[in-house]
Structure 1
Amino acid sequence: MKRFLIAAGAALAATPALAHHPLGGLPMTTFSEGLLSGVGHPVLGFDHLFFVALMGIAAIYTGQALRAPLAYVGAMLAGCALMAAGVALPMAETVIVASLLVLGFLVASGRALSPTMAIALFAGFGLFHGSAFGGTIAGQEGGVGGAVFAGYLIGLAMIQYAIAIVAGFTMRRVLAAPGAASINARLAGAMVAGVGIFLSLEILEGPIVAALAG
């Protein structure tokens, strides 16, 4: 769990941001730049990274280790496409933080999700994670071409599916957590829930300060 703890500490030191640009804010103009941006966003964004990794851990105890994460990937791509088309999902930032809390506490409880519940949960939250990713496309001045958009979607899908599969395999085989009630699996859930609590406080900080000042 040492690496997980280090990653958690890094996340707690960062402010929540739902769009993380590996190109340093430069516009995407080619397929390869779109692909690079798609790969980099979920890795640079700890909110997305932690959810996807924990999703892979939860999925491996459903008996659908390869299939369940695909529900997230499909919904995430749909949410991204909707946002790119100008259809924004409401309160995406809040729902993404809620996804860390909900999945984190579920995994920390030690109870395995049923395949149906896992797929519904992953797909539901995937729409909002995708909407956040789509903000990069929607926010690029002048828009993007079809090749750039295709590269971006491919990058997003490939890296997140890979993260989920590797996280689940690592938890079950490398960290020797054969069941959902295993201590390492539950600790992973608790860590992600803790990150969700921290990000929740970041969201509430503004309204609380405004209320106190008023």
Structure 2
Amino acid sequence: MKFKLSNKATIAALSTIGAFVSMPALAHHPLAGQPMTTFTEGMLSGIGHPVLGFDHLFFVLAMGIAALFTGRSFTAPLAFVAAMLAGTGLIMAGIQLPLVEYVIASSLIAVGALLFSGKSIGLAKTAGLFAIAGLFHGWAFGETIVGQESIYANVIVGYMIGLAAIQWVLAVGAGMAVTSMLKVFDAADAKARIAGGVVAGAGAVFLLEGVEGALFAAMGLV
């Protein structure tokens, strides 16, 4: 199969991005783990958290591209954002969710596979996938808050606002980018499918790392 020059450039760019998944995840915190005490610090942490975590960032960008093909690129990501806020609320309330990191990695595989298939599964099913993933991503985000010895209401409000805003902007921006820059208007476009393959591959790497870590821990090797 021969690709046009623009497609080759796309593959190179996506391969470069994909290489980052073999690197350890960053701190997930723009304040370097320092306690948050103000609304602004909470909002900055909320904005930086999904940007600094490759697993979360990959999902949000892929979600925005998948949302584009539902015909609701502005509203479909709201399902993820709403569920994400609910998930953050769950951990703040002390409610545990099982297998969080595995579900997050699996969500990457699922949305990547959706893009790679070259088909749109419709708004309702896509929003359902986004919502389930959002619940677990949000729970993971909430660990930033509950991990502090003391927390203030203004910090929580700022964190939630920053977290919701940046993810909606990233998702919508990803959809706009593939149409304006890559000229992708159809789910069957090779560039969209390549992007899906990269995202699914990243999810597989994260999932295998998690399984490997659990096995080593069970054998007392870590």
Q: Do structure 1's residue 164 and structure 2's residue 174 form an aligned pair?
A: no
Q: Deviations over 1:39-88 (max 9, x none)?
A: 00000001000000000000001011111000000000110011112112
Q: Scaled by the length of structure 1, what TM-score is found?
A: 0.93
Match of 2:206 among 195, 199, 202: 199
Whichever residue aligns with residue 92 of structure 1, its letter is: V
Q: Do structure 1's residue 9 and structure 2's residue 22 form an aligned pair?
A: no
Match of 2:29 among 17, 21, 24: 21
Cα distance in 2 between the residues matched to 1:113 and 1:61: 9
Cα distance in 1 between the residues matched to 2:193 and 2:217: 37
Please tell me whether the aligned partners of residues 42 and 49 of structure 1 are also in contact (alpha carbons under 8 angstroms).
yes
The equivalent residue for 2:118 is 110
Gaps of 5+ in 2: 1-9
How far 1:190 moved relative to its partner?
A: 0.3
Cα RMSD (Å) of the superposition?
A: 1.7
Identify which range, 80-89 or 25-34, moves more after superposition.
80-89
Whichever residue aligns with residue 20 of structure 2, its letter is: A
Cα distance in 2 between the residues matched to 1:96 and 1:211: 21
Cα distance in 2 between the residues matched to 1:32 and 1:199: 32
The equivalent residue for 2:197 is 190
Cα distance in 2 between the residues matched to 1:91 and 1:207: 11
Gaps of 5+ in 1: none
Please tell me whether the aligned partners of residues 21 and 205 of structure 2 are also in contact (alpha carbons under 8 angstroms).
no
| Percent identity between the two aligned chains | 50
Please tell me whether the aligned partners of residues 103 and 189 of structure 1 are also in contact (alpha carbons under 8 angstroms).
yes
The equivalent residue for 2:82 is 74
Quickly say closer, same or farther: Cα 1:136–1:211, change in 2 above 3 A: closer
Whichever residue aligns with residue 56 of structure 2, its letter is: H
- What is the number of equivalent residue pairs in this alignment? 211
Q: Scaled by the length of structure 2, what TM-score is found?
A: 0.90
